[in-house]
Homo-oligomer: A and B are copies of this chain.
Amino acid sequence: MKKKRKDLLGLRGVEREEIEEILATAEQMREISRRKVKKVPTLRGRTVVTLFFENSTRTRTSFDLAAKRLSADTLSFSVSTSSTTKGETLMDTARTIFAMSPDAVVVRHSCAGAPHLLARHFPWTVLNAGDGINEHPSQALLDMLTMRDRLGSLEGRKVAIVGDVQHSRVARSNIFGLTTMGASVRVAGPGTMCRSDLAALPVEIRHTVDDVVKDADVIMMLRIQRERLGRAVLPSAREYAAFYGLDLERLSRARPDVVVMHPGPINRGVEIAADVADGPNSVILDQVTNGIAVRMALLFLLLGNAEDASPT
């Protein structure tokens, strides 16, 4: 990234060359986790803080482990947003954290734009680990790395994203990243959910899951918020599975070598059937492994500098 970037807030507007650099660095980083000694001294003495206003053990742990494998010190803040006025909590908590001289702060917040606010106010590196329904760039980068492992290149590939696309930051970051990399994205999901908001994005909206599945190179199933099922906006879990879930029968209509993805944690039997999640097309666990590699790459590229020519 040649020192030009202080933060990573989203993939919208990030150029292809930069994504290539991140993915190439992540491939090198992945080697470190395969060694017996899974640790390099690159970020020794640096402090990486995870500041999560929404609970997520998986993403927080992935960043934490990535930082540790680069020898950084890590600090974890989990803040409940319910107790106080949100704006106050965000800025005052952030000020306190930044006064502790961290090198990078990894932020998750239920409000879109929260990491951007922090990045503008503070001189330190901010990594967006999910902001409202806006972006979740490290997830999309690990998804792209996982696709590339299977498909070689993303150029011209057809990626189907299925589920509540319009409320999904995972979907949005993937849409920005994938189209920049030359792939095309088609989406499908419950009718109530795929509406005008998506029109502004470079995606093709199809109305049945079978429509997007049939010629896809990749099927990305989104996690459904179980607490939203059975309300006005969404059908019951059983209906959801029948209409929008990916089971073996539906999968049989896709290409035999289609890559099946899910950001996890999965609701087995709702958006994805157990035998699909655990089957030969699934790369769900590769996504987890690549998550650490991508986050190591981001920390290295954003915090490392010229002298640290090689991470290894």
Contact = CB atoms under 8 A, between A and B. Distances in A.
A211 interface: no
A45 B103 CA distance: 22
Interface of A: 33-39, 44-47, 57-58, 61-62, 64-65, 68-69, 73, 75, 77, 88, 92-93, 95-96, 98-101, 103, 264-266, 268, 284-289, 292
A113 B225 CA distance: 31
A38 B99 CA distance: 14
B45 A289 contact: no
Nearest to A64: B75
A294 to B, nearest CB: 13
Given A34-B101, A288-B100, A73 B265 contact: no
Contacts of A62: 100
Nearest to A38: B45
A62 B101 CA distance: 11
Contact of A95 (B44, B75, B285): B285
Contacts of A265: 92-93, 96
Given A47-B65, A265-B92, A100 B37 contact: no
13 contacts: A33-B100, A38-B47, A38-B103, A39-B73, A61-B77, A65-B73, A65-B100, A92-B265, A95-B288, A96-B264, A99-B287, A100-B292, A101-B292
| Most chain B beta-carbon neighbours within 10 Å: one of A75, A96, A286, A287 | A96
Contacts of A101: 33-34, 38, 289, 292
A290 to B, nearest CB: 9
Contacts of A73: 38-39, 65, 68-69
Contact of A99 (B37, B95, B285): B285
A77 B100 contact: no
Nearest to A44: B37
A83 B46 CA distance: 36
A92 B61 contact: no
Contacts of A61: 75, 77, 100
A288 B96 contact: yes
Nearest to A74: B68
Contacts of A287: 99
A144 to B, nearest CB: 17
Contact of A58 (B34, B96, B266): B96
Contacts of A95: 284-285, 288
